[in-house]
Chain A
Amino acid sequence: MVRGPVLVTMRRAVAATVMVLALWAQPALAEGRSWTGLRGETPVGDELMQLGEDVITTAGPPAGPPLSGQVLEDRTTALATTLRCPVCQSQSVQDSTSEAARNMRSQVQAMLAAGYDESQVFLYFEHSYGEFIRLMPRAEGFNLLVWAIPVAALVLGLLSVGLVVRRSMGAAATIPAVPAGEEEGDDLQSAPEDPSTDTPADTSGEQDPSIDGSLQPWLDRVRTELAESDG
């Protein structure tokens, strides 16, 4: 019998498949732009929603020119993208397929068509729902933290990375460079290998002209200590 996480995964897979099939069968839902099967009543005979009498009380008279056609559609889409759907989880009015979002989008469109500008549209929706309705909070007061924290975190992160890189480069610079052809162990292994013994050939006292003179004491000491430890 299937239990636990496997069962949960199977259920999720089935749910996802059903959702994909539903969206495939209903392209309108997938596009989110066509509205069918509405629960509520819609105005009959009007292409645009008639604005309620509360709009002028809240937002005042229209401050801009009335919009129409493609400009109206584009501005409606742009504004609806910045408004939060109140019945959804972190979705914009533009992205949501809920009926509440459709009504709000219609309201935005009607306000723009009547000549209300962007700030008046925000004013109207904030009057009803508060600042919650903005998907992007205004960059002022306490809200500044929302904008400042990511920037501060980025700057601190870059500074930390720079510091680490600088330290590691400084540490690398303090290690003496080994001359080419004299990598670790090269000198010791340069003597002919004697399979009968692990002791490297005693070359103490010999001066290899290819070796940097400053390294010679170091090499001599290594050879001496190796000889002592083997002896």
Chain B
Amino acid sequence: MNDPLHQPKTKKSGVSWGALVGGLALVIPLLGIMLSGLFHNPHDIGNALADKPAPAFTLPRLSDGAEVQLSQFRGQPLVINFWATWCRSCPLEHPVLVDGARRYSNQVQFLGIAYEDKRPALKAWLARHGGSSYPTLVDVGGKVAVAYGVYGVPETYFIDGEGVIRTKHVGPIDPQTLKARIEGIL
């Protein structure tokens, strides 16, 4: 007789190993991506222009308004520093750059490019901080900063005699780093 009270159970209970493995295979890589994001500086986007020719530009010089072209410095290693008067850490590196420009004046040309700034403010700032030993150019409209992939100040680009960007330093630069980077373009 078919006893309905004693029919065998047909439904299995417990963990579905297939679902567990499938779920973990999906979740673990996502967790890995999230964790790597936690330890990544979102502002560190690298230097897309590394080993590429430095973008050409023509900008007015702060001191007299005369136009300065990148091509004027062909064959000469360059240090180009993007900075601004509103930048908090720029006063820290300013003496380092002024000293470096004097120290390497026979080998390297230093240029400052003012980022999102106005001429009166720039002149007043330089007067307050002891002047400069190299020319400052004014990036009118900010197109040179866009061309160089600048996403904050200060940023310093090191360009060799061939006009190729070798490295870029993000943040205020110290004398040791400046020396090492300059040696890399000589």
- Contact (Cβ within 8 A) A129 B149: yes
* B110 on interface, CB distance cutoff 8 Å: no
Question: In the docked arrangement, what's the CA distance between A107 and B149, Å?
Answer: 13
B:1-52 near A, CB below 8 Å: 1, 3-5, 10-11, 19, 22, 26, 29-30, 42, 45-46, 48-49, 52
* A58 on interface, CB distance cutoff 8 Å: yes
- Contact (Cβ within 8 A) A43 B22: no
Question: Please, which residues of chain B bring their CB within 8 A of the CB of A152?
Answer: 26
- Contact (Cβ within 8 A) B149 A128: yes
Question: Please, which residues of chain B bring their CB within 8 A of the CB of A125?
Answer: 146
Q: Interface size on B (CB < 8 Å)?
A: 45
Which one of A5-13, A16-24, A96-104, A196-204 is at the interface?
A96-104
- Contact (Cβ within 8 A) B45 A127: no
CB contact between B45 and one of A49, A106, A129, A160 (< 8 Å): that residue:
A129
- Among B30, B48, B117, B141, residue most surrounded by chain A Cβ atoms (within 10 Å): B141
- Among A43, A103, A107, residue most surrounded by chain B Cβ atoms (within 10 Å): A103
Chain A window 89-127, contacts with chain B (Cβ cutoff 8 Å), 1 for yes, 0 for no: 100000000011011101100000000000000000111
Nearest chain B CB to A18 CB, angstrom units = 21
Which one of B55-63, B91-99, B101-109 is at the interface?
B55-63
* A132 on interface, CB distance cutoff 8 Å: yes
Nearest chain B CB to A88 CB, angstrom units = 10
Main secondary structure of the interface of A (DSSP, over half): helix
Q: Interface size on A (CB < 8 Å)?
A: 42
* A149 on interface, CB distance cutoff 8 Å: yes
A:143-181 near B, CB below 8 Å: 149, 152-153, 156, 160, 171, 174, 176
- Contact (Cβ within 8 A) B117 A40: yes
Question: Please, which residues of chain B bring their CB within 8 A of the CB of A49?
Answer: 141, 143
- Contact (Cβ within 8 A) B45 A52: no
- Contact (Cβ within 8 A) B57 A130: no
- Contact (Cβ within 8 A) A52 B143: yes
Question: In the docked arrangement, what's the CA distance between A104 and B45, Å?
Answer: 17
- Among B4, B29, B55, residue most surrounded by chain A Cβ atoms (within 10 Å): B55
Question: Please, which residues of chain B bring their CB within 8 A of the CB of A128?
Answer: 48-49, 55, 146-149
Binding site for A on B (CB under 8 A): 1, 3-5, 10-11, 19, 22, 26, 29-30, 42, 45-46, 48-49, 52-53, 55-58, 84, 86, 114-119, 138-152
Q: 24 A-B Cβ contacts within 8 A?
A: A39-B116, A39-B118, A40-B115, A40-B142, A43-B140, A49-B141, A51-B143, A52-B58, A52-B147, A57-B55, A57-B56, A99-B116, A102-B142, A103-B142, A103-B145, A106-B141, A127-B52, A128-B49, A128-B147, A128-B148, A129-B149, A132-B46, A160-B19, A217-B3
Known pairs A40-B115, A52-B56; list 11 more (Cβ under 8 Å): A40-B139, A50-B141, A52-B58, A54-B147, A99-B116, A100-B146, A100-B151, A128-B148, A129-B151, A130-B45, A132-B46
